[in-house]
């Protein structure tokens, strides 16, 4: 079996020679293997790659090719897709160019995929034997953990066996992909591949230790983090927007019922309690029917238990949110309206994660 190693690069000059040296050793004994850089660099990285490619050709080592893009369409993800389009082998391995991904594992991933009849083999930091070591700082580690949890709650079926859907290191069988269906943007190309396609792919995982960067600096930015949220929203547009619409409609029911009952002469507090009870029940029924229907038969909870969990969480969330609103407004003196807006957005995500990750799991 032959493989192509696809390496997206953006200003990685100091790392190219070392990466190729180690890949060359790892790929020895894999006939027809090659390395393909997809480069968007704005510095001298392309000439470094060209020089290393010439050296490889002269020494008879693993061939090195490069696609250099003047327009970095789709960033890292776009580069990976462009690379995958140009691959001639049955399997490709995608990995970073900064040696945070051990090159020695490239062949292990692809071999495992072929022997086990899989479509994708994910190199994971989060299964036994793996480690996120090279993620600098507690903050980035926490962001990484939360981001993975978010992705997994949005795709409980597709990502059931994928502990690290945001890794940039994986092997993929080209025949299993529909590259035209992807909308690559930002950093999270594996998630795009696993979540976007019509068909669920057969996925396996191998542990790996995320190392330190060899040279240069990281290109991850806050903007890429925001792009990730955009990507999740676009991937889950259906489920998330139905969840949001039902939640928004709940507020409208609530006010209408309160209005009708008080007009009929009821005390407003009693009316508010009835309005809340009706809204909560109706929302729950709609959510079962229109948001999580595909998961109903698969989870661990029966109907009443789901209802109890959902009502308890939403009730608690509302109380806690109101207390937090009071705290922030009192302590900071901010205007309550935007604070409430931000809190509602966070609450929306929390409710969504809680329901898909707990109630309907």
Which residues are near Mn ion by CB under 5 A?
96, 98, 100
Size of the site for ligand GDD (CB under 6 A): 25
Count Cβ atoms within 10 A of the Cβ of residue 186 and give its class: 0-12 exposed, 13-18 middle, 19 or more buried.
Answer: buried
Q: Is 68 helix (H, G, I), strand (E, B) or coil?
A: strand
Q: Taking a C-beta distance cutoff of 8 angstroms, is the pair 357, 152 a contact?
A: yes
Shortest Cβ distance from residue 134 to ligand GDD (Å)?
8
Cα separation, 348 vs 158, whole angstroms: 22
Contact map string, positions 190 to 219, toward ligand GDD, x by CB under 6 A: ----------------------------xx
Scanning 4-12, 267-275, 288-296, 323-331 for contacts with ligand GDD by CB under 6 A, the matching segment is 4-12
In contact, 125 and 210? CB cutoff 8 Å: yes
Cβ proximity to Mn ion: between 1 and 132 the closer is 132
In degrees rounded to 5, what are phi and psi of residue 302? -85, 180
Provide the token pair at 110. Answer: 């692809």
Question: Least distance (Å) from ligand GDD to the CB of residue 127?
Answer: 15
The full DSSP string for 115-181 is HHT-SEEEEESSSTT-B-TTS-HHHHHHHHHHHHHHHHHH-TTTTTT-S-TT-S-EEEEGGG--GGG
- Draw the binding track, 56-85, toward ligand GDD (x: CB under 6 A; -: no contact): ----------------x--xx--x------
Q: What is the DSSP string of 46-58?
A: HHHHHHHHHHHHH
Binding mask 150-189 for ligand GDD (x = CB under 6 A): ----------------xxx------------------xx-
Q: Which of 33, 35, 36, 38 binds ligand GDD (CB under 6 A)?
A: 38
Which of Mn ion, ligand GDD, none interacts with 24 (beta carbon under 5 to 8 A by kind)?
A: none
Number of H helices, E strands in the chain: 11, 7
Q: Which residue is closest to ligand GDD by CB?
A: 168
CA neighbours within 13 Å on the CB side: how many for 243?
21
Q: Which does 10 bind (CB under 5 to 8 A by kind): ligand GDD, Mn ion, none?
A: ligand GDD
Q: Is residue 20 close enough to count as binding ligand GDD by CB under 6 A? A: no
User: Considering Cα of 99, then 102, then 104, then 108, what sign does the dihedral take?
Assistant: negative
Q: How far is the CB of 243 from ligand GDD (least distance, A)?
A: 26
Residue 184 interacting partner from ligand GDD, Mn ion, none (CB closer than 5 to 8 Å by kind) = none
Q: Is 93 an interacting residue with respect to ligand GDD (CB under 6 A)? A: no
> Strand, helix or coil at 65?
strand
Interaction of residue 24 with ligand GDD, rule CB under 6 A: no
Residue closer to Mn ion (CB basis): 96 or 119: 96
Query: What count of other Cβ atoms lies within 10 Å of the Cβ of residue 138?
Result: 8
| Residue 170 interacting entry, from Mn ion, ligand GDD, none, C-beta within 5 to 8 Å by type | none
Min CB(134)–Mn ion separation in Å: 7
Of 168 and 204, CB closest to ligand GDD:
168
Distance between CA atoms of residues 108 and 177, nearest Å = 20
Stretch that binds ligand GDD, among 95-103, 240-248, 297-305, 330-338 (CB under 6 A): 95-103
Cβ closest to ligand GDD, residue 132 vs residue 202: 132
133 neighbors 211 (Cβ within 8 angstroms)? yes
SS3 332: helix
97 binds ligand GDD (CB under 6 A): yes
Please give the Cα distance from 234 to 105 (Å, whole number).
32
Shortest gap between Cβ of 14 and ligand GDD (angstroms)? 11
Q: DSSP for 206-262?
A: EE-B----SSS-----HHHHHHHHHHHHHHTHHHHHHHHHHHHHHHHHHHHHHHHHH
List of residues contacting ligand GDD (CB under 6 A): 8-10, 12, 38-40, 72, 75-76, 79, 96-98, 100, 135, 144, 166-168, 187-188, 218-220
């Amino acid at each position: 079996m032959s493989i192509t190693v696809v390496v997206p690069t953006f200003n990685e000059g100091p790392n190219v020679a070392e990466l190729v040296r180690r890949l060359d050793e790892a790929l020895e004994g894999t006939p027809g293997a090659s390395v393909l850089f997809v480069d968007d660099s704005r510095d001298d990285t392309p000439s470094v790659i060209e020089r290393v490619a010439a050296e490889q050709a002269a020494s008879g080592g693993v061939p090195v090719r490069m696609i250099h893009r003047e327009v970095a369409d789709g960033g890292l993800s776009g580069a990976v897709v462009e690379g995958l389009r140009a691959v001639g082998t049955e399997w490709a391995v995608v990995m970073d160019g900064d040696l945070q991904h051990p090159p020695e594992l490239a062949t292990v991933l692809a071999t495992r995929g072929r022997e086990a009849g899989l479509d994708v083999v994910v190199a994971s930091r989060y299964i036994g034997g793996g480690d996120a070591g090279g993620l600098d700082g507690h903050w980035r580690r926490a962001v990484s953990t939360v981001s993975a949890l978010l992705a997994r709650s949005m795709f409980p079926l597709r990502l059931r066996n994928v502990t690290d859907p945001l890794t940039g290191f994986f092997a993929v069988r080209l025949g299993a992909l529909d590259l035209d269906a992807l909308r690559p943007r930002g950093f999270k190309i594996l998630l795009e591949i696993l979540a976007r396609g019509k068909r669920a792919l057969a996925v396996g995982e191998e542990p790996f230790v995320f190392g330190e960067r060899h040279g240069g600096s990281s290109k991850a930015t806050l903007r890429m983090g925001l792009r990730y949220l955009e990507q999740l929203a676009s991937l889950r547009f259906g489920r998330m927007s139905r969840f949001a619409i039902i939640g928004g409609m709940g507020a409208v029911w609530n006010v209408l019922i309160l209005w009708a009952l008080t007009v009929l002469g009821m005390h407003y507090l009693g009316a508010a309690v009835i309005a809340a009870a009706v809204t909560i029940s109706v929302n729950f029924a709609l959510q079962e029917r229109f948001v999580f229907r595909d998961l109903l038969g698969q989870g661990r909870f029966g109907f009443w238990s789901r209802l109890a969990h959902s009502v308890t969480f939403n009730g608690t969330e509302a109380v806690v949110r109101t207390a937090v609103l009071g705290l922030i407004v009192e302590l900071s003196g901010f205007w309550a309206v935007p604070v409430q807006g931000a809190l509602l957005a966070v609450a929306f995500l929390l409710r969504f994660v809680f329901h898909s990750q707990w109630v309907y799991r």
